[in-house]
Amino acid sequence: MPFPSAKKLLALALLLAPAAALRAQTTPPAPPKTNDTTTPLHLLKPDYPVPYGQAKAEDVRQVLDRVYGYLDAATPAELVDKKTNAPITDRRKFNPDAIIKPGDFRLTSYEWGVTYAGMLRASEVTGDPKYAAYTLSRTKFLAELVPYFQAYQVAHPEAGTPVRSVLQPHALDDAGALCAAMIKAQRAGATADLRPLINRFMDFIMTKEYRLPDGTLARNRPQPNTLWLDDLYMSVPALAQMGKLTGERRYYDEAVKQVSQFAPRMFDDSKGLYRHGWVQDMAEHPEFHWARANGWAILTKVELLDVLPADHPGRPAVLKLLRAHARGLADRQAGSGFWHQLLDRPDSYLETSATAIYCYAIAHAINQGWLDAKVYGPMTLLAWNAVSTKVNDLGQVEGVCVGTGMGFDPAFYYYRPVNVYAAHGYGPVLLAGAEILQLLKQHPYGINDSSVQLLK
């Protein structure tokens, strides 16, 4: 092909020149360089991993409603024949095949004691009776099952009836959390007579659970004469509530005694954290600061302070311990708002149930005036924002460590599974959401220089 002549090239250039000029006129100028002189860099939006500064009452209520809706459907209070699944409506004739209709969770577990308490607190704060109705209906159901199964259980003590742990408690896990919740339900106006169950649980705690020679509640696993931090929650709140119910000082005294005798063995003053376990015959003790056990411990202290008389001589020491523990936990909150499975090991995973417990306990302490709202409020709102991301559309709580014994090596804690059917997450989330609603009522917050600040 012959090369175009100079004349043709000139004509083509003349044709294209207006288009090039037009493009030059319409191309927008380059944006100004982003630097300290052109942009208020301190106002740039950070890439937060969870919502920041967005705790609104209506959003909290939606989370609580999702959890309630799921649990109400997933935990039926109905007696059925395990062979036919047919409802048992006639309680006059005993059926040895009778069971509680299977759901996603057990109505008699200690985790469900926490859930019952969470429902009561949610109802108290929101004014919505449906939450309390959940607890009152299911504790009434359990109270009615006791006489139905009692004679059979006595005749067949090894039979795995649905209320065996109620009729024959064998551990603090069987007794404490359910007992505390039932006392709260009784005080909240339960129509069922829960007192026989309460008395049975309390008798186990006071007279039957294994103790060290000084009276400290203990277990003989995984080693002889072992203290489990979990056992503070499995005993003290029930003792404290029994003191409130009966007015008998001895229950308050026993509750304070347990807290005060656990602390020197298990609380590390330098870290502001509890170790999970303590073994009497060891010169050194396992140094694993498991998150949920620390949750049970701080929850125990706020439960005790809620009802402990103002003039009780043990109250100042419990309050001092609460403040020291809250400080230690605050120092280890991750930037995402969660806490780690092992609190002082940030390469362990972030865990939901402990985060929810801390959220509740610290928010409650703020609302009661035991902790400074301006110091601890922002971290508590951040914790709730984190927890709220773990409640899925079905109302299930994700990221919850399953039931956990005591280990003497890190791998045991690092690799505990998480599961939406780990019952430990539901009561804490209900408690946390309810208390955050109360916090928002008492202590409004705002954004100042991009950070959350409580205004009063």
pLDDT in tens, 188-210: 999 999 999 999 999 999 999 99
Nearest to 171 by CA among 116, 118, 226: 226
pLDDT at 37: 85
pLDDT grade for 8, boundaries at 50, 70 and 90: low
**Minimum mean pLDDT among 8-12, 133-137, 172-176: which range?**
8-12
In tens, the pLDDT along 129-171 reads 999 999 999 999 999 999 999 999 999 999 999 999 999 999 9
pLDDT value for 133: 98
Looking at residue 4, its pLDDT comes to: 57
- The whole-angstrom separation of Cα 381 and Cα 436 is 7
Place of tokens 């998480």: 418
Instruction: Give dist(CA 238, CA 307) in Å, integer.
Output: 11
Confidence of residue 25 (pLDDT cuts 50, 70, 90): low
Q: Which residue in this structure is represented by tokens 């280990």?
A: 407
| pLDDT, average across residues 29-47 | 84
Which pTM was predicted? Answer: 0.92
pLDDT of residue 33: 82
Nearest by Cα to 399 from 341, 333, 328, 331: 341
User: What rounded mean pLDDT belongs to the chain?
Assistant: 94
H-type alpha helices, 236-340: 236-246, 249-266, 291-307, 315-330
pLDDT in tens, 227-254: 999 999 999 999 999 999 999 999 999 9
Instruction: State how far the Cα of 392 lies from the Cα of 396, in Å rounded to an integer.
Output: 6
